[in-house]
Structure 1
Amino acid sequence: MLTVDYDRLDVRPGMRVLDLGCGEGRHTFEAYRRGADVVALDLNAKDLATTRQWCAAMELAGEVPATASATTVQGNLLSLPFPDASFDRIIASEVLEHIPDDVTAIAELTRVLKPGGLAAVTVPRWLPERVCWALSDEYHANEGGHVRIYKEDELAGRLRAAGLKVTGNGFAHALHSPYWWLKCAIGDAAPTRAYHKLLVWDIVDKPVFTRVLEQALNPLIGKSVVIYLAKEEVAVGVGA
């Protein structure tokens, strides 16, 4: 289940792609499948092990080009273990809302992106997230939980302040918003479990009806907002 549009991010074979806060690797897998050299970074060693296992399985199944590569790195977004201008593309999906010092994290993301490179940053959208917070403290008030709710223009401003150019936006996962509202309101009750089965059916079978419905609802109640960005090329002066 991808939050980022890879065609819009223009991920191509041979590119070096960084998946920040990769979790169990859902965005890593698609970049790897498209022939990129992917670095998946996360603090959680267990999640990184799962990412490695799935990447190895993809390679054995012949699902990735022979020239592609996938590497996992345990690291902190506040101090990335990479030189400046290391990556052609960067994905930071559903991670900044967990980081108290998001300004430093954004600065690090910008530092390791090449001039001319593209990035996609996704966070929970303000309205669906605000409903979840209102319904349940447990949803966010736990170790490693969400520390803030972003408004889109607020996040875009922080990204611009770091030196990135906003090139567009998008919304994703509208069908997931009601699930989280149910889970926050009534927990793991029968209606929540029934709705979860619908989501699994949607993800696995990709029926046309739910795909069209979600596309129609994304601008209204999309669970995530995606901001697409570019790091401008460094101008080179011409001597007299």
Structure 2
Amino acid sequence: MGCGAGRHAFELYRRGAHVVAFDLDQDELDGVEKMFGAMRLEGEPPEGATARTVQGDARHLPFPDDSFDKIIASEVLEHIGDDLAAMAELKRVLKPGGRLAVTVPSWLPERVCWALSEDYHTAPGGHIRIYTRAELQAKLKATGFRVDGHHHAHGLHTPYWWIKCAVGVNNDANPLAQAYHKLLVWDIMKRPLATRIAEQALNPVLGKSVVVYFTKPSTPGRPESAGKEKVDAA
């Protein structure tokens, strides 16, 4: 849900899932659909895997009840005015026993970004709230999910966004921002041990995102153990 440019959708497809990439932005979805086609031509997805795109509003998901085994909602709830409606829809379309992974910007790194730049959070389509992990978990628990655990990610990305906010979020020509961006691209492509260790150390404090895992109970109001891996995902 909120697939954006499709990073998670592509990886799920490579791993053999039946993927539905859902987003509000049709232009983004057109690019995702083209990449799905290119992946098929290259033989990247395992036999039997499928992938398609669907456009729509997260507050009114165009899917029947109990449609998906797993859902990823990565960096999307902070953009949605009525986040409780989106959370209710996530629960509705997830199968009983299904798993949900939600990521949102971590409170401390996000608070610094807001303090450094008004443009960062007032641009159309930008972030409209800062979650604490406790708030995110409480809202999804109130919706009916069970909380399974959490971790932080992308500690190396936080300084980049602080730099961007300090020099101007649209100032792509700034030398410092350009240099740090090149470092991040190099790290993503090469994944050297030194930066992996550094990011693991930074994540608990400066991780740009907090990742929280949830389960939709098989029986309402009854705790469930994590089920076996499934193949359908949105």
TM-score, normalised by the number of residues in structure 1: 0.88
Corresponding residue for residue 124 of structure 2: 143
- Where does residue 68 of structure 2 map in the other structure? 87
Q: 1:199 aligns with which of 179, 184, 188?
A: 184
Query: What's the counterpart of residue 151 of structure 2?
Result: 170
Structure 1 vs Structure 2 CA RMSD = 0.9
2:194 maps to 1:209 = yes
Q: Which runs of 5+ in 2 are unaligned?
A: 221-234
Amino acid at match of 2:34: Q
1:220 corresponds to 2:205: yes
Query: 1:7-38 CA deviation, whole Å, 9 max, x = no partner?
Result: xxxxxxxxxxxxx0000100001111111100
1:63 CA displacement: 1.0
CA apart distance, 1:191: 1.1
The equivalent of 1:152 in structure 2 is: 133
Runs ≥4 residues deviating over 4 A:
none
CA distance in 1, matches of 2:135, 2:33: 35
Match of 2:4 in 1: 23
The 2-side partners of 1:54 and 1:99 are apart by 26
Which secondary structure does the structure 2 equivalent of 1:225 belong to? strand
Q: What secondary structure sits across from 1:148 in the alignment?
A: coil
Question: Which of the residues 41, 45, 57 maps onto 2:38?
Answer: 57
- 1:32 matched to 2:17? The reply is no
1:69 aligns with 2:50: yes
- Structure 1 residues 98-145: Cα deviation after superposition (integer angstroms, max 9, x where no partner): 001000000000100000100100000000000000000001101111
Aligned residue for 2:121, secondary structure, equals coil
Unpaired runs of 5+ residues, structure 1, are 1-19, 236-240
Residue identity matched to 2:201 = A
In the alignment of these two chains, the number of paired residues is 216
The normalised TM-score by structure 2 is 0.91
Stretch of structure 1 that moved more, 211-220 or 127-136: 211-220
Q: Aligned residue for 2:114?
A: 133
Q: Distance in 2 between matches of 1:105 and 1:45?
A: 19
Whether 2:91 is the aligned partner of 1:110: answer: yes
Shift of 1:60: 1.2
Identity over the aligned pairs, expressed in percent? 61
User: Shift in Å at residue 193 of structure 1?
Assistant: 1.0
Q: Specify which structure has the bigger relative contact order, considering alpha-carbon pairs within 8 angstroms and separated by 6 or more residues.
A: 2
Which of 77, 81, 101 is matched with 2:82 structurally? 101
